[in-house]
Structure 1
Amino acid sequence: MASEDTKKKLIARLKRAEGQLAAVRRMVEDDTYCVDVLTQISAVRGALTRAADVLLEDHLHHCVVHAFESGDEEKRRAQVDELLDVFARFGGRV
C-alpha cells in the first residue's frame, strides 16, 4: 500500500470527495437546478481523479521501481501488464 504521507493525502482527498458527494445528494433532494448539480458532480469526479493520480504516482515511485530494481523478470513483466491495465481503465490519462 501507499506510504504514510501518501495515505494522508489520499484520505484527505477522499474525505473532500465524500463531502462533495453528500452535497450532490442534498442538492438532488432539494430539487436544485440541474446545471448546478452537474457542476457539483464534476467537482466530485475531479476530486476522485486527483485521488487516483496521487495513488498511481506513489505506486509508480515505489511498487514499480521496486519490481524493476529487484532484477526479477517475472515481477517486471507483471508490473508492466498491470500498468497497461491501469492506463486502459483510465483512458491513458495520467
Structure 2
Amino acid sequence: MELDPVELKPVLNRLKRAQGQLAAVIRMIEEGRECSEVITQLSAASKAMDRAGFSIIASGLQSCMLAEAREPGSAQLDRDKLEKLFLSLA
C-alpha cells in the first residue's frame, strides 16, 4: 500500500513542527528551565507526533478501503497491518 504524497504534506509539516518542539525541549532542559514549561512543550511535541501517526493511518485505511472495493479479499493483510499500527499508537 502506498500513501498519497499530497495527503502526506500536512503530516510532514506536523512532524517538522514536532521536530522543532522536541529541539526546544532539549534546549529547555539544557538551560535548566522550569519543569512545567518543559512538560508543556514535550506534551505538544508528543501530541503532534500522535496526530501525524493517526493521519498516516487514516490515509492508509482510506487506501485499504478503496483496494477492498476493487478486489475483495486483497486488502485483508493490509487491514491487519493497519490495525497493528493503530494499536501501537493507542
Q: TM-score range by the shorter chain?
A: 0.7 to 0.9
Contact 2:50-2:89 within 8 A present in 1 as well: no
Contact 1:24-1:37 within 8 A present in 2 as well: yes
TM-score, normalisation: structure 2: 0.85
How many angstroms does 1:50 deviate by? 1.2
Contact 1:20-1:40 within 8 A present in 2 as well: yes
Partner of 1:8: 9
RMSD of Structure 2 on Structure 1 (CA): 1.6
The 5-angstrom pairing of residues 35-74 of structure 1 reads: 35-62=36-63, 64-73=64-73
Structure ranking higher on relative contact order (CA contacts 8 Å, 6+ apart): 2
Contact 1:17-1:48 within 8 A present in 2 as well: yes
For structure 1, which runs of at least 5 residues remain unmatched after alignment?
none
1:14-56 CA-partner distances (Å, limit 9, x unpaired): 1100110010011001000111101110000011011112111
How many angstroms does 1:72 deviate by? 4.7
**Whole-angstrom CA distance in 1 between matches of 2:32 and 2:80:** 45
Q: How many residues align?
A: 89
**Whole-angstrom CA distance in 1 between matches of 2:9 and 2:39:** 28
1:36-89 CA-partner distances (Å, limit 9, x unpaired): 101110000011011112111111111x1233124252x332123213312321
2:41 alignment partner AA: Q
